[in-house]
Amino acid sequence: MALEIYDPLDAYINVFKDRFRHVAEATFAQLAAESHVDIEANRKTCHKIYNTAQRANNAASRLSRWTMLCIVLWITVIVGATLTIVNYDDWTPECVVATGTATVAVLLMLFLRVHPKLSALRKLHLDETSHVSSLKSEALEQMEPLNRLYDWDLFTRMMAKTVPNLEFDPYFTTRRLAEMEHVYGWDSSFNDERSVMSCRSGALNGNPLVICRTRKMIMGSKTYTGYKEIFWETYEQDGNGNQVVVSHTETLSAEYTAPYPEYYELTRVIYGNTAAPDLVFDRRRSGLASKQGSLAFKWKKRKLRNEARNLSNGDYAMMTNEDYETMFDTSNRNSNQQYALLFTPMAQQSMTHLLQDDENGYGDDFDFEKNKMINIIVSGHLQELDLDMSPKHYSNFDYNLAEKNFYEISAQYFKAIYLALAPLLCIPMYRQMRSRENIYGRDMPQHSAFWEHEALANLWGEEHFRAPDCVTHCILKTEQVDEDGDESTIVVYAHGYRSEQRVAYIDVMGGDGRYHEVPVCWDEYIPVTGTGRLHIKEDNTRTNDNAATQQQRLDHIDKVLSSNNAMLYRRHIASSL
């Protein structure tokens, strides 16, 4: 029987954190067993690597000290020789001889002792560094059978095993997108000005879930500065009453502000649920959860009380738990009745715990927007996370370090993603309401949506599609053409900007009392669009993926890549340029 989650943060602390650790340990143990890596041989090689690297570092430190000594001695030689030559006629013969002898002695020390030592240390450092590189290549070769077993779905399989009622799609399907649009009212205009950098779709408690990162261009502004030096003369009288000419100079500066494309990326959790289907609110993080009892907290609570008394303020009425209302301010909600159905006393208690605990969790670091049946969570801690979970995250030349990193990286991602979903898990009704597709178990056709195509194009990199004269980032958009079953060609449009240098002349008053045109160089950004193509093959043959060993998965992937002349296999889609 699946575990019921009443307080998602408590469940993470007391259940899921350890459960995920056990799943990760079992997964890594299985990978290591399948890879047949000679662990002891790798440990010996890595021991040599670290010892050799230490010797290389020691050689580098000694080389630095001897180089500093060499510089000091050469300065001494130069100063001694210069003083001897400059003061040759003024110094006594004894002083000249003493200075000259000391200079020659230092010079001999440089050539007979210091420079040979520097040469030996440089050679030692180079030899040890080269030896480290050679040993790392050997260690990587030993670890290659394990490194190649990591795949793009490894983490999501572990997470789905840990959290009940959480599942992930092989890729974002057209069926999943249609379900979000037609059943839950997702507004497709969201994608008009955005490019999907990465996305993961699936279901939470049977309802559609998307974790995505998008890029958007906003035309901002940039201020440029220009300068012009002016000269003029004035006539003044000196102390003797004579008229003299006085020259003046002044550097004038001017600024010019022009449009400038700025690119922003944001990671969101998008969730559809039919509970409270007309409710709309937009909650923003405030940081007040950690300031309970402070003046700011009391002022906010009083402000909300006044809003609740204002009869012209729609349907808003404060709930009994005023501290919760202050921490989780949704005073812009449109239906107090539907809000109360969602945020029961249990939900309020769970949400308060989530907002206040920034030791086990992340505290109040998320925005929560509900627009009827669509919920959007924007968590601060997710913004720096690479949601694609490339297998390169786990690859390593050192078995012990690979095992340690596997647990730590996986635990970091699990905590981040689970707690990003936690605001949704706080709501009991969201666990009870399931979509019609989930209730009746209708099969979903396995065809990839344009979200997946854009994410795949961005994974390949905008440099493959951008116009030659583009100087900015690009917003990649896609169009599916030449579709033949599971194979199709994707046309990628890379929308960016080229720049043309312009000059603006700004009138500035100078000290001579006249206006001068100060030239300011600025860049005009002109839209350009590059194009390219991706060829994709959707792999819908892996029906019982969880039952397969990792080696069987890799063998299957190699077969798909070779049979389709593809270069990249990512989440059940093979692709090539």
Does residue 204 surpass a pLDDT of 80? yes
SS (H, E, C) 151-168: CCCHHHHHHHHHCCCEEE
Q: Which residues are 552's β-sheet partners?
A: none
Question: E strand or H helix at 312, and its extent?
Answer: none
40 pLDDT tier (thresholds 50, 70, 90): very high
The whole-angstrom separation of Cα 351 and Cα 427 is 9
Neighbours of 305 (CB within 10 A): 14
Q: Which residues are 210's β-sheet partners?
A: 201, 270
Does residue 149 surpass a pLDDT of 80? yes
Does residue 438 surpass a pLDDT of 60? no
Average pLDDT over the chain, rounded to whole?
90
Look at 78-92, 166-180, 222-236, 285-299 and tell me which has the smallest mean pLDDT: 78-92
Neighbours of 199 (CB within 10 A): 25
The whole-angstrom separation of Cα 446 and Cα 171 is 8
440 pLDDT tier (thresholds 50, 70, 90): very low
Give start and end residues of each alpha helix (H) in 6-86: 8-11, 17-35, 39-86
The whole-angstrom separation of Cα 64 and Cα 70 is 10
* Residue 376, pLDDT score: 98
The answer to whether the beta carbons of residues 361 and 422 sit under 8 Å apart is yes
- Express each pLDDT in 323-353 by its tens digit: 999 999 999 999 999 999 999 999 999 999 9
DSSP-assigned letters across all residues of 442-465: ------B-HHHHHHHHHHH-GGGT
Q: Is 342 helix (H, G, I), strand (E, B) or coil?
A: helix
Q: What is the dihedral of CA 386, 388, 389, 390, to 10 degrees?
A: -110
Phi and psi at residue 188, to the nearest 5°: -70, -10
Question: E strand or H helix at 339, and its extent?
Answer: helix 336-342
Percent share of the chain, pLDDT over 70: 96
- Looking at residue 464, its amino acid is H
Does residue 292 surpass a pLDDT of 80? yes
439 pLDDT tier (thresholds 50, 70, 90): very low
365 pLDDT tier (thresholds 50, 70, 90): very high
The whole-angstrom separation of Cα 52 and Cα 412 is 32
Place of tokens 């990286």: 409
The whole-angstrom separation of Cα 500 and Cα 526 is 8
DSSP-assigned letters across all residues of 489-543: EEEEEEEEEEEEEEEEEEEEE-TTSSEEEEEEEEEEEEEEEEEEEEEEEE----T
Region for residue 153 given its phi and psi (left: phi exceeds 0; alpha: psi -120 to 50; beta: otherwise): alpha
407-430 burial code (b ≥16 CB/10 A, e <16)? eeebeebbbbbbbbbbbbbbbbeb
435 pLDDT tier (thresholds 50, 70, 90): low
Nearest Cα to 283, choosing from 192, 375, 349?
A: 375
What Cα–Cα distance (Å) separates residue 493 from each residue in 529, 532, 573?
6, 7, 20
Place of tokens 């949400």: 351
3-state helix vs strand vs coil in the chain, percent to 5: 45, 25, 25
> What radius of gyration, in Å, describes the C-alpha atoms of the chain?
34
Look at 246-255, 384-393, 541-550 and tell me which has the smallest mean pLDDT: 541-550
563 by Cβ neighbours in 10 Å (0-12 / 13-18 / 19+) ranks as: exposed
Mean pLDDT computed over 77-94: 79
Look at 77-86, 379-388, 432-441 and tell me which has the smallest mean pLDDT: 432-441
Question: E strand or H helix at 256, and its extent?
Answer: strand 243-272
* Residue 242, pLDDT score: 83
- Express each pLDDT in 503-556 by its tens digit: 999 999 998 989 999 999 999 999 999 999 999 999 887 655 666 778 888 888
Nearest Cα to 12, choosing from 134, 168, 166, 174?
A: 166
Nearest Cα to 453, choosing from 174, 150, 154, 151?
A: 174
Mean pLDDT computed over 493-500: 96
- Looking at residue 440, its amino acid is Y
SS (H, E, C) 181-246: HHCCCCCHHHHCCEEEEEEEEEEECCEEEEEEEEEEEEEEEEEEEEEEEEEEEEEEECCCCCEEEE
Sheet holding 573-576, edge to edge: 475-484, 487-509, 515-538, 573-576, 568-570
